[in-house]
């Protein structure tokens, strides 16, 4: 996977192939630039959605390079084409493709966006929606599970069941109102990378061991065909063992200067730092326990945490205990913003970035609300 501060691929680099009913390629390429305002109306409830829209108009992003789409994508395309009369489908392979497709979906007045891709595809969609502001009202997001390599976002807020069954429920609901639908809102991260003009939006930011574990997954696990939560679980087990044995060849602390909200900056070595708006990580983990009423979950583990084995069960479940506390090296808060100056890369929704922090910190802040459709 290429590491680039701004042009990281959705899953891999590639060119645009677009396939949609009732649409021409000439229409697709016209006027894709949108205003770069970051304000957009969101649907707060299903009733709100139904009041505003007289018809459901579905747009679907398919990423052929996502792990789950390397087989069976043609079946998904055909099911979408046959099951509902107006599904605008587009194959995307990188962030530019996603922005181009969403600009066209906005012209078609799409109000439900189905994402058939991994976390990187969702990140690219969120970035285009929030930063480019193609839509006057943000479409509902419907995320298919098992489409990506890890698909942590889909595991938390995606449509239940297989992709086939999820699409059938979605189309049935859109056509005749069958199936119970719920709109769930989630905050979104806004990540400003030093020396880059445009921010990136996502839902999970990880540094130190998380960045190292992503490399490990790509080189040792995903390359062998072990994907999804199983692959992430294998990597987690390997890294936990390395922490217990203090194996610095597998996991090594990283020097990071952090500043939470308006508090004083703190410089030290960390084993792990992450910020997320997800309520559930892979394998059902919820490793955050901040009490503040703020949108971003922040968790950090010092380079030499005490009572690690005893603290681990509470740490993974996000429960306070006599072991999981700052004095022992475990910190968690709910925040609005964090500034990080680090000499290593970071993972944003599965994509790897290598910032140049000599020009300033990476700033992770609240970027707005996204509405997800669940059936």
Q: Each residue's pLDDT tens digit in the chain (375 positions)?
A: 334 444 344 443 333 334 433 333 333 333 343 444 455 788 888 888 988 888 899 999 999 988 778 777 888 888 888 876 679 999 999 999 999 999 999 999 999 999 999 999 999 999 999 999 999 999 999 999 865 556 889 999 999 988 989 999 999 888 877 678 899 999 999 999 998 989 999 999 999 988 888 877 666 666 566 666 666 677 777 778 778 878 777 788 999 999 999 899 999 999 999 999 999 998 889 999 999 999 999 999 999 999 999 999 999 999 889 999 999 999 999 999 999 999 899 999 989 999 999 999 999 999 999 999 998
Could you tell me the fold of the domain covering 204-348?
Answer: Tumour Suppressor Smad4 (2.60.200)
Write out the residue limits of the CATH 2.60.200 domain(s) in the chain. 204-348
Write out the residue limits of the CATH 3.40.50.10330 domain(s) in the chain. 17-186
As given in the structure block, the two tokens for residue 180 are: 């119970």
Cα distances from 73 to residues 108, 143, 196, 264, 373, in angstroms, run 24, 15, 35, 50, 22
- Is residue 278 within 8 A of residue 152, CB to CB? The reply is yes
Select from 56, 57, 59, 55 the least CA-distant residue to 18: 59
Cα–Cα distance for residue pair 8/90, rounded to 1 Å: 20
Non-local (6+) Cβ contacts of 269 within 8 A are 253, 254, 255, 256, 302, 303
Residue 286 pLDDT: 94
List the CATH code of the domain at 17-186.
Answer: 3.40.50.10330
Beta strands in 265-311 (DSSP E): 266-276, 296-302
As given in the structure block, the two tokens for residue 293 are: 């009423």
As given in the structure block, the two tokens for residue 101 are: 């497709």
pLDDT tens, 36-48? 445 578 888 888 8
Angle at the Cα of 135 (from 32 to 146), degrees rounded to 5?
Answer: 90
- Is residue 273 within 8 A of residue 340, CB to CB? The reply is yes
Residue 243 pLDDT: 81
Backbone angles phi, psi at 280, to 5 degrees: -140, 130
Select from 374, 183, 205, 207 the least CA-distant residue to 296: 205
Non-local (6+) Cβ contacts of 313 within 8 A are none
Residue 314 pLDDT: 94
Residue 96 pLDDT: 96
Residue 75 pLDDT: 86
As given in the structure block, the two tokens for residue 290 are: 């901040």
List own/partner pairs for 29-34 with CB under 8 A and 24 or more apart.
29/100, 31/103, 32/99, 32/100, 32/103, 32/104, 33/103, 33/132, 34/103, 34/106, 34/132, 34/133, 34/134
Non-local (6+) Cβ contacts of 173 within 8 A are 179, 181, 375
Strands 140-143, 351-353: pairing is: unpaired
Cα–Cα distance for residue pair 320/187, rounded to 1 Å: 24
Residue 144 pLDDT: 93
């Amino acid at each position: 996977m290429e590491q680039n501060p701004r042009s990281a691929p959705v899953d891999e680099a590639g060119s645009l192939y677009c396939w949609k009913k009732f649409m021409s390629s000439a229409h697709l390429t016209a006027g894709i630039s949108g205003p770069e305002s970051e304000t957009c109306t969101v649907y707060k409830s299903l009733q709100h959605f139904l009041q505003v829209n007289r018809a459901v108009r579905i747009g679907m992003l398919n990423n052929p390079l996502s792990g789950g789409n390397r087989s069976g994508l043609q079946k998904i395309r055909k099911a979408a084409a046959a099951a509902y009369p107006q599904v605008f489908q587009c194959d995307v392979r990188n962030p530019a493709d996603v922005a181009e497709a969403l600009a066209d979906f906005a012209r078609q007045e799409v109000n439900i966006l189905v994402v058939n891709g991994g976390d990187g595809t969702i990140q690219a969609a969120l970035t285009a929606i929030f930063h480019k502001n193609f839509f006057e009202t943000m479409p509902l997001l419907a995320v298919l599970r098992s489409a990506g390599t890890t698909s942590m976002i889909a595991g938390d807020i995606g449509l239940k069941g297989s992709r086939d069954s999820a699409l059938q429920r979605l189309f049935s609901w859109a056509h005749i109102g069958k199936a119970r639908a719920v709109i769930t809102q989630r905050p979104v991260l806004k990540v400003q990378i030093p020396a880059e003009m445009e921010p990136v939006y996502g839902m999970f930011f990880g540094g130190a061991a998380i960045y190292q574990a992503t490399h490990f997954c790509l080189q040792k696990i995903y390359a062998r065909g072990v994907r999804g939560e199983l692959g992430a679980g294998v990597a987690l087990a390997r890294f936990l063992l390395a922490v217990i044995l203090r194996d610095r060849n597998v996991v090594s602390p990283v020097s990071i200067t952090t500043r939470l909200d308006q508090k004083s900056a703190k410089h030290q070595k960390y084993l792990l730092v992450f910020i997320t708006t997800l309520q559930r990580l892979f394998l059902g983990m919820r490793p955050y326990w901040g009490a503040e009423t703020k949108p971003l979950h922040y968790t950090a583990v010092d380079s030499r945490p005490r009572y690690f084995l005893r603290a681990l069960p509470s740490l993974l479940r996000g429960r306070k205990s006599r072991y999981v506390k700052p004095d022992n090296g475990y910190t968690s808060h709910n925040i609005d913003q964090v500034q990080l100056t680090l000499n290593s890369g970071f993972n944003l929704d599965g994509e790897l970035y290598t910032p140049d922090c000599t020009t300033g910190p990476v700033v992770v802040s609240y970027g707005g609300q996204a509405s997800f459709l669940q059936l």
